[in-house]
Amino acid sequence: MTEIPELILLSIFFYLLMHLGDSAAINSIVAGKLSDKLSQGISIEKTTIVASKLPFPLILIIQAFLIENEIMSLKEYLFYAILHLIPVIAMHIFMIRNANAFQKFFQKIIFFRKRKSLPISILMSIYSRTNDVELIDFTKEFSIKRVILIKSFVSSLAYVFLALGFFISFSFAFYFEDFRMTISQLTSIFHGIGGLILAFFIDPMISKSVDIRAKNEIWVNNFYSIMFGRLLSYIISLFILIIYFLNVNI
């Protein structure tokens, strides 16, 4: 029993790390747009998203271990699931309020990418103190007036499936103990739905708007609409888990 808190903390850390990378990735497009290196920005965004998925199998292994060994009740599991979302919400609020700092980091990666491989460029962006990098400020701060409701809604819908999917899937295993392996595969369905919404609606929308050469703020509004939608998805997911938690007796 002494290892349970450590496993939960490890799972929370991996979950936060995964969503940190996934959420931050879109700032690479902003960096590419401002530095007039859009193709590199989009390329680094895709790489960052893929890299952010690396902790995901570890999270699933931890969740599966806890459930298969019947270490906790469903109510305890949902309580720990709620704890996963709270730091992610705080992180995302910080990211929205400090979009300029995040996109500047990606500008540094783009700068070093001209001479180095991507992993080396990331390390140099973290540790290098060179003054040779001319960083462009992203002066458009977040405002609720920038949010386009339909785009935020679609964004939040996609990320609810991605943020909540495996928690709901694994919670069903408590009801159908003989089919735990089968039910755990529902995670793929939830993530597949979220991924399809992103692929068909969100990614084309932001890519098209940043590709427009006209000096307008459509791409800025789209950027903040996606970020705000993602924040809403975490809050909605949190409320779903709380309601689920309050109505469970096992």
Task: Give 149-208 pLDDT, tens digit per residue.
Answer: 999 999 999 999 999 988 998 898 888 877 777 887 888 889 899 989 988 888 888 877
- Structure confidence at residue 89 (pLDDT): 97
Q: What is the DSSP string of 176-224?
A: -GGGHHHHHTHHHHHHHHHHHHIIIIIHHHHHHHHH--SS-SHHHHHHH
Q: How far apart are CA 181 and CA 166, in angstroms?
A: 13
Q: How far apart are CA 67 and CA 179, in angstroms?
A: 12
For residue 107, give the nearest of 25, 31, 37, 41 by alpha carbon. Answer: 31
pLDDT at residue 3 above 60?
Answer: no
Highest average pLDDT, of 3-7, 159-163, 217-221, comes from: 159-163
Please identify which residue in the block is written with the tokens 């990614």: 203
Averaged pLDDT, 209-217: 69
Task: Give phi and psi for 3, each to the nearest 5.
Answer: -85, -10
Task: List the chain domain ranges.
Answer: 3-127+146-246
Task: Give 96-146 pLDDT, tens digit per residue.
Answer: 999 999 999 999 999 888 777 878 888 888 877 656 678 899 999 999 999
What are the CA-CA distances from residue 180 to residues 163, 169, 187 (Å)? 21, 10, 12
Range scoring the smallest mean pLDDT among 8-17, 62-71, 225-234, 240-249? 62-71
In 55-130, which residue ranges form alpha helices assigned H by DSSP?
56-68, 74-97, 99-113, 118-127
Q: Under a CB-based contact definition with an 8 Å cutoff, are residues 245 and 82 in contact? A: yes
